[in-house]
């Protein structure tokens, strides 16, 4: 069967740049040029430019004359290779064996995934669904060998079948110019009338080897799948710190929302590939001059999905100001942690309540600031007046409510009471503490009801009886 898929992205860098901008930017004609010996030619163009007559390989002067509003930028092979790596990180959520062919190609081994995704078409549907997240133009083709799949995809031959015979027939029809052989070798084969790959494959390999050298026999063995060259499979990085260049300077955070969405989509793919969540992000806006504007974002609960990351990041950024226009945007994942399964409870409301509280705290911190969200934290001091303190919120395990009897409301000052007006329910609980400083106590605490049936917390000491707090 055809165990390999090859994805070719002929306009990867341009498509990716346009994906970072609002959809209306794609309506305008854009192209990338490559400069060789003072000659600038178009190597990539968007659909709007192609529809107006612009062609890949056209000189930039001719293209600008044909379409005066055409936007031209320089092609950067290194940046395009970096984009391919980021795309591999997205597909790695479904495909374990990926080989990068920079700057525009990607090879996927799918034999090991057939049972998982119910066959060839299940694997294909999974890949196509993942690629739908990005507005990229690509050609995907299957092949019985890595080289066969690559040649078909680079020739824009979208062959999607598990039948080996069909793939071999398609490869045989390819012109010799699309064989991937060196130009000198192609010229020699064409001179003797071998104009297609099929005509080359029909000739005895020994005869070809004598006439054209050993390289042609190795090529044919690799094309047939008989020679398996070593593959350098992709592995996701251990950290995420990605940076994207904007097509134009941006002056406000709302204008950066679209590229931020794309970056956070990559963050989700990174975290998913490692089965991680994160509690912090660092967003940096890079300017033409001076240091970048940095926004550190903390989450009260572990998150990994793009929707959660984006909504909380937006609330943080609403409180920030940019001191200069932005040329590049970057995101770094901080404080990653492994995901843990939620502890099962007989009643799911317990976990759901904790999750809802954490989400609420995250939103409040994003809107108001981390120092503005506080909670009562227990201290290592058994004196009731000093047992709790107001501090910045942090997630803690909820103590067992039945372990000790403590009221929700302590009075600012204890009030003297008459013992005969109270009906004791529980106690005594003796608290002897503070002997190491100037405020020692020795008290016997009770839970008791007053004449109005209100439940209070009272104690007895050498100074008499006092009310310290209310349960209800």
Q: pLDDT of 184-231, one tens digit each? A: 999 999 999 999 999 999 999 999 999 999 999 999 999 999 998 899
Structural element, H or E, at residue 260: helix 257-274
CB 280 within 8 A of CB 299: yes
Percent of the chain with pLDDT over 90: 65
List the structure tokens of 268: 């989700």
CA distance 224 to 469: 85
CB 244 within 8 A of CB 259: yes
Give the tens place of pLDDT for each residue, 293-309. Answer: 999 998 888 899 999 99
pLDDT for 316 beyond 90: no
Q: Is 23 exposed, middle or buried (0-12, 13-18, 19+ CB in 10 A)?
A: exposed
User: Tell me, what's the pLDDT at 405?
Assistant: 75
CB 30 within 8 A of CB 70: yes
CA distance 63 to 44: 12
Q: What is the mean pLDDT of residues 274-284?
A: 93
Give the tens place of pLDDT for each residue, 12-36. Answer: 999 998 988 888 877 899 999 999 9
Sign (positive or negative) of CA dihedral 153, 159, 165, 171: negative
Angle at 9 between CA 117 and CA 106, to 5 degrees: 50
Q: What does the CA dihedral 114, 120, 122, 124 come to, rounded to 10 degrees?
A: 120
User: Tell me, what's the pLDDT at 346?
Assistant: 47
Q: Is 358 exposed, middle or buried (0-12, 13-18, 19+ CB in 10 A)?
A: middle
Reported confidence tier of residue 378, pLDDT bands at 50, 70, 90: low
* Strand ranges, E, within 93-194: 98-101, 105-109, 139-143
CB 231 within 8 A of CB 237: no
Q: Going by C-beta distance under 8 Å and a sequence separation of 6 or more, which residues neighbour residue 1?
A: 111, 120, 144, 162, 163, 164
Angle at which helices 164-172 and 146-154 cross, to 10°: 50
User: Tell me, what's the pLDDT at 395?
Assistant: 58
φ/ψ of 129, rounded to 5, equals -65, -40
How many other CB atoms sit within 10 Å of the CB of residue 132?
9
pLDDT for 349 beyond 70: no
List the structure tokens of 457: 């917390």
Bridge partner list, 223: none
CA distance 173 to 155: 11
CA distance 54 to 223: 35
30-36 and 71-74 beta bridge pairing: parallel
The CA–CA distances, whole Å, from 268 to 104, 248, 308, 340 equal 23, 26, 10, 17
Give the tens place of pLDDT for each residue, 45-103. Answer: 999 999 999 999 999 999 999 999 999 999 999 999 999 999 999 999 899 999 999 99
User: Tell me, what's the pLDDT at 343?
Assistant: 52
pLDDT for 351 beyond 60: no
Largest CA distance in the chain: 118
Q: What is the mean pLDDT of residues 269-294?
A: 93
Tell which phi-psi region holds residue 220, choosing left (phi > 0), alpha (psi between -120 and 50) or beta.
alpha
CB 88 within 8 A of CB 100: yes
CB 467 within 8 A of CB 456: yes
Structural element, H or E, at residue 153: helix 146-154
Structural element, H or E, at residue 63: helix 60-66
Sign (positive or negative) of CA dihedral 19, 23, 25, 31: positive
Lowest-confidence range among 240-244, 267-271, 437-441?
Answer: 437-441
φ/ψ of 175, rounded to 5, equals -65, 155
How many other CB atoms sit within 10 Å of the CB of residue 38?
5
Q: Rounded mean pLDDT of the chain? A: 88
φ/ψ of 139, rounded to 5, equals -125, 125
pTM here? Answer: 0.74
Domains of the chain: 4-174 (3.40.1170.60), 241-338 (3.30.1490.100), 409-470 (no CATH)
Reported confidence tier of residue 359, pLDDT bands at 50, 70, 90: confident
Angle at which helices 257-274 and 306-317 cross, to 10°: 140
Reported confidence tier of residue 2, pLDDT bands at 50, 70, 90: confident
């Amino acid at each position: 069967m055809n165990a390999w898929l090859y994805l070719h992205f002929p306009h990867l860098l341009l498509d990716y740049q346009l994906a970072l901008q609002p959809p209306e930017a794609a309506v305008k004609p854009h192209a990338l040029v490559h400069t060789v010996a003072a000659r600038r030619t178009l190597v990539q163009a968007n659909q709007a430019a192609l529809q107006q007559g612009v062609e890949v390989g056209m000189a930039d002067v001719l293209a600008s004359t044909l379409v005066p509003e055409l936007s031209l930028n320089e092609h950067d092979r290194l940046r395009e290779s970096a984009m391919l790596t980021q795309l591999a990180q997205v597909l790695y959520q479904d495909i374990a064996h990926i080989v990068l062919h920079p700057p525009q190609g990607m090879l996927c081994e799918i034999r090991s995934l057939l049972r998982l995704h119910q066959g060839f078409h299940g694997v294909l549907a999974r890949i196509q669904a993942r690629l739908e997240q990005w507005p990229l133009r690509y050609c995907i083709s299957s092949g019985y060998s890595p080289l066969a799949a690559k040649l078909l995809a680079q020739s824009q031959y979208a062959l999607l079948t598990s039948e080996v015979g069909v793939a071999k027939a398609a490869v045989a029809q390819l012109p010799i110019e699309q064989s991937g052989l060196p130009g000198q070798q192609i010229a020699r084969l064409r001179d003797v009338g071998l104009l297609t790959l099929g005509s080359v494959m029909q000739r005895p390999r020994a005869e070809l080897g004598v006439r054209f050298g050993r390289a042609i026999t190795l090529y044919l063995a690799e094309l047939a799948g008989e020679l398996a060259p070593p593959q350098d499979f992709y592995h996701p990085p251990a950290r995420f710190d990605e940076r994207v260049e904007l097509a134009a300077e941006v002056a406000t955070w709302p204008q950066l929302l679209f590229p931020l969405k794309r970056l956070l989509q990559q963050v989700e793919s990174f975290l998913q590939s490692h089965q991680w969540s994160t509690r912090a992000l660092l967003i940096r806006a890079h300017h033409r001059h001076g240091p970048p504007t940095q926004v550190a974002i903390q989450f009260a609960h572990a998150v990994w999905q793009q929707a959660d990351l984006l909504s909380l990041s937006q609330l943080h950024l609403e409180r920030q100001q940019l001191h200069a226009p932005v040329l590049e945007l970057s995101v770094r994942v901080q404080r990653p942690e492994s995901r843990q399964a939620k502890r099962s409870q007989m009643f799911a409301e317990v976990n759901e309540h904790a999750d809802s509280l954490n989400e609420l705290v995250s939103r409040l911190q994003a809107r108001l600031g981390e120092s503005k969200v506080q909670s009562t934290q227990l201290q290592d001091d058994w004196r009731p007046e000093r047992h709790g303190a107001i501090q910045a919120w942090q997630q803690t395990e909820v103590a067992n409510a039945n372990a000790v009897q403590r009221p929700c409301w302590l009075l600012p000052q204890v009030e003297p009471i008459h013992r005969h007006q109270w009906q004791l329910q529980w106690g005594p609980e003796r608290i002897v503490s503070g002997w190491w400083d100037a405020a020692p106590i020795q008290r016997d605490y009770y839970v008791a009801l007053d004449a109005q049936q209100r439940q209070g917390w009272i104690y007895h000491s050498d100074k008499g009886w006092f009310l310290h707090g209310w349960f209800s």
